[in-house]
Structure 1
């Protein structure tokens, strides 16, 4: 892992820094925003759900972040890399996204996290916006 460890604050900072992003805040007083581009979510801080639980205690994880991927193949590649903290649940079978616990985000470098969040944005942005962003960043 190169560079400093990622932090949850980096998820917010990178997602907010992408162009044309809107942030949907929950009314329940929790800090679990949904980051969207063109009305499509690309990073989503989930509430505790029965599909993501501690295998030892059975307690629901209350710190899960869902991040869209470019494709099912990209998702499977991220999940296959044992050095990465991503996981999925049967609820997300066939859905192009990965899950990561906020408590494990530090297992990524800030650069790795930045690329993953930018790729999530690109996967949901319109072709025009994605092309413009890629051209601007010479990628």
Structure 2
């Protein structure tokens, strides 16, 4: 098992993926996109506090949420329904293939688990040729 994940690992993992770049979406929301440039599609974004995402225990707006894309509803359900992971969803994302996680809870994942979820998110949005090339050469995929 690798070490616990940290918020700093998010950018490091994203930056290590081919043709990924940090840009913005929805105006000024920091978003990791692939491929780099105008045609990039977001695979992970830093969500701003919003009334649609409130901590059920405190009533406070979540201020450290990541939105991470997933391949399909089954993958989303597997992550949010697993009590061993910190992933969840909200009504605002019903029918949308993405999960939420608080950066403050990333330590509940190990680095390898976080890398797997982010890499899968990247693969959902990356051009197929890039995905094929990456997984053909990725030593971790053996």
* 1:25 Cα deviation after fit: 5.0
Tell me, which stretches of 5 or more residues in structure 1 are unaligned?
none
Distance 2:94 2:52 in 1: 12
Q: Is the counterpart of residue 33 in structure 1 residue 34 in structure 2?
A: no
Instruction: Return the TM-score normalized by structure 1.
Output: 0.91
For 1:55, the equivalent position in structure 2 comes to 56
- Taking the TM superposition and a 5 Å limit, the aligned residue runs for 1:1-139 are 2-25=1-24, 33-38=30-35, 39-137=40-138, 139=141
Distance 2:41 2:24 in 1: 14
Instruction: Return the TM-score normalized by structure 2.
Output: 0.89
| CA root-mean-square deviation | 1.6
Name the CA shift for 1:37/1:61 in 2 (closer, same or farther; >3 Å): same
Aligned residues: 135
Tell me, which stretches of 5 or more residues in structure 2 are unaligned?
none
* 1:83 Cα deviation after fit: 0.2
The 3-state SS of whatever aligns with 1:33 is strand
